[in-house]
A and B are shown apart, each in its own frame.
Chain A
Amino acid sequence: MKMTGARILLECLKQEGVDTVFGYPGGTVINLYDELFSFKDIRHILPRHEQAGVHAADGYARATGRVGVAIATSGPGATNTITGIATAYMDSIPLVVITGQVPTALIGNDAFQEVDIIGITRPCTKHNFLIKDVKEIATIIKKAFYIARTGRPGPVLVDLPKDVQIATTEFSYPDTIELRSYKPTVEGHPKQVEKAVSMLLSAKKPVIYVGGGVILGDAAGELQALAKMLNVPVTTTLMGLGAFPEDDPLALRLLGMHGTYFANMAVTNCDLLVAVGARFDDRVTGKIATFAPHAKIIHVDVDPTSIRKNVRVDLPIVGEVKDVLAKMLKVAEGQSANVSESRKNVEPWLAEISGWKEKHPITYKQTSSTIKPQFVIQKLRELSEPDAIIATDVGQHQMWTAQFFTFTKPRTLLSSGGLGTMGFGLPAAMGAQAAYPGRQVIAICGDGGFQMNMQELATLVQNRLPVKICILNNNFLGMVRQWQELFFEKRYSQTCMELPIDFIKLAEAFGAKGFQATKPDEVETTIKKAFETPGPVIMEFKIAREEKVLPMVPAGASLNEMVLNA
């Protein structure tokens, strides 16, 4: 049967199992939206800004592990998606973003709402396509999803001119796709795996350093089994939080700039560092020259470019982390005598780490007069459901969440790690809630980040997405203020957001509910009220204004040069 390009696109999405798309109509996708009007197999959510639409698709992808889909029109619609795309690119999130384009005959003519989105998104997508012929739609969409979700995942943009949407052809969706130029290495080399296990078994002070790759690769189970079998402590990056339960005795929790004292000391003193699905970001390593100075480094990653990009590596293993970790487990299982010997040998190391944990736990000073943000985060953990999904913006609240929430399950923290995108939290939470209507989804925001995408309150209300929004309000762009305080003699240049916004009225204006807490003893009741109230709710906490995120490794310093109190 002949179909229009617009219809074919929707059929392709259906074939890929897409149940929800986040999109914004416009002139060059109006034909697509006309088809969507009667296409009942896909739920469409209309955000209030295309950036938020892409973040929502991203949140959907992070929470579910499936490919998120966003649609935008050409020109400004397309350019509004860039921040969302770049955010997903930096964190390796699988997305397919479809943009409308002016008719092929007008491309290059500076037509109304024309922009070279292929050119613009080239550096921030895993790949992108311009579809020039209706006959190409099915194979290109197949390729787009395949590229987005395989190897190191990432966003793929498909630009679809208006006339291609109108043209008709026979539709058939390919079952498989073969790309001669794209063959990611899936399986880890068995010899390298064996070497890795023997290095682990003979190490006296091993540490496993886990990144988002373990979550993206659904390898948390294998990781936990391996760490527990060999008695090896595990530290995670921001993107890796949830891959290893933070309440486990082997958990070193977050490392790096705002990592725990014991994680940073363990990395500085270890004799073997096993990096799994992590990329040695500068926020993690601090000064490269003094990062893990006594350690041999094993690096497991599906992306060969990550290996030796920032640090020297003694043993590289390219492959999907799930495959490599499963193989490592198997090899270790076959050497039970060595394993029990090795477990004994690391005991002094674990004792040393326990000492650090006792000396400098992650903590803060409670007061009775002002609300400490860390206290709010701890209370949120205490009162929320065990499988609650947390989305954050970027800044102090993000780091307090990372330090104090205690994540125990993968895909429960959605945060912009690589790009550090303010305004990410609310729309990402929206995407996760659309995927899991029955789960508790909480957006933790600062007052700055919240204001970057607060229009999405309307989308939440319209689509009955009961996201609970926690605003830690200090009327500051807190993280920048913290840097100004520590490194710029408290010259608070443009970081004060003094305007007293009434977030409660704002919630009401959008048809949501809002509650405020100004004193510590109101925190618990405010959270309970918010959780009990149906629909989207803002809970605003007026927090201590000059509270800092500590410990902190100043930019460019070594991990063991932490500022513990300031």
Chain B
Amino acid sequence: MRHTITVLVENEFGVLSRVAGLFSGRGFNIDSLSVAPTNDESISRMTIVTRGDEQILEQISKQLNKLIDVIKVIDFTGGEAIEREMALIKVTAEESSRAEVLRIADIFRGKIIDVTPKSYTIEVTGAPAKIEAILELLRPLGLKELVRTGPVAIGRGSKGWKG
């Protein structure tokens, strides 16, 4: 089961390795992890995508809470969170396929951020599934390089977690 977990931590050095070390030391899986300070500079927010059965996810959540620097753990289950991920995609774009690449980028509301006679580099944001979808279309045209940020997530509704 895929889960998106948000972890609010004290913005101190070494926190990232505490969190990452917890996952590796206990044999939990990290699909992706993104981290940056919040509006409150003393707090960082991590978005972790992980997977496991119910018992493992409960342990992940509890073990994260147990870390001294962790302020809050929010485990989003289906539909509660809005997820967005950014990808930079460098794709082969020569005469025969330039128009096709442009069309695909356009459909996905991607931006061309670099152009050469042989390539386009596309910036695209969206839910992870949307990134997967554009990649599926671009891959046959010749993917040269791909960078993904991993998703960040925020809860739906008007309620916010301050910071």
Contacts and interface: CB of A to CB of B under 8 A. Distances in A.
Given A181-B9, A305-B66, A122 B71 contact: no
Given A147-B68, A180-B71, A123 B58 contact: no
Given A122-B17, A122-B18, A309-B59, A181 B69 contact: yes
B10 A118 contact: no
Interface in B1-29: 9-10, 14, 17-18, 21, 25
B59 A179 contact: no
Given A181-B10, A304-B62, A308-B55, A123 B25 contact: yes
Contacts, number: 34
A126 interface: yes
Interface in A286-321: 303-305, 308-309
Contacts of B65: 304
A182 interface: yes
Given A118-B14, A122-B18, A308-B58, A179 B68 contact: yes
Interface in A413-439: none
B38 interface: no
Contacts of B68: 126-127, 147, 179, 181-182
Interface string A120-139: 00110011001000000000
Contact of B62 (A122, A127, A182, A305): A305
B63 interface: yes
A334 interface: no
A119 interface: yes
| Prevailing SS type, chain B contact patch | helix
Contacts of B18: 122
B70 interface: yes
Contacts of A127: 68-69
Contacts of A130: 14
Contacts of B58: 308
A420 B59 CA distance: 24
B69 to A, nearest CB: 6
Contacts of A303: 66
Interface string A159-203: 000000000000000000001111000000000000000000000
A309 B58 CA distance: 9
Nearest to A312: B55
A214 B156 CA distance: 43
A178 to B, nearest CB: 13
A344 to B, nearest CB: 39
A283 to B, nearest CB: 19
Given A305-B63, A309-B59, A123 B21 contact: yes
Chain B, interface residues (CB within 8 Å), range: 10 to 19
A223 B152 CA distance: 48
Given A181-B9, A181-B10, A182-B68, A305 B17 contact: no
A264 to B, nearest CB: 25
Nearest to B64: A305
A71 to B, nearest CB: 22
Interface string B87-124: 00000000000000000000000000000000000000
Contacts of B69: 127, 181
A181 B70 contact: yes
Nearest to A123: B25
B17 A119 contact: yes
Which of A127, A305, A309 has the largest count of B CB atoms less than 10 A from its CB? A305
Nearest to A309: B59
A123 B27 CA distance: 13
A304 B66 CA distance: 8
Interface in B23-56: 25, 55
A126 B59 CA distance: 17
B148 to A, nearest CB: 28
A503 to B, nearest CB: 40
Given A181-B68, A181-B69, A304-B65, A122 B59 contact: no
Interface string B122-141: 00000000000000000000
Contacts of B63: 305
Nearest to A132: B13
A157 to B, nearest CB: 12
A218 B134 CA distance: 61
Which of B9, B21, B25, B66 has the largest count of A CB atoms less than 10 A from its CB? B66
A305 B9 CA distance: 19
A305 B59 contact: yes
A122 B55 contact: no
12 contacts: A118-B14, A119-B17, A123-B21, A179-B68, A181-B71, A304-B62, A304-B65, A304-B66, A305-B62, A305-B66, A308-B55, A308-B58
Given A181-B70, A181-B71, 17 more contacts: A122-B14, A122-B21, A123-B21, A123-B25, A126-B68, A127-B68, A127-B69, A130-B14, A147-B68, A179-B68, A181-B10, A182-B68, A303-B66, A304-B65, A305-B59, A308-B59, A309-B59
Interface of B: 9-10, 14, 17-18, 21, 25, 55, 58-59, 62-63, 65-66, 68-71
Q: Which 6 A-B pairs have the closest CB atoms?
A: A127-B68, A181-B71, A305-B62, A123-B25, A304-B62, A182-B68
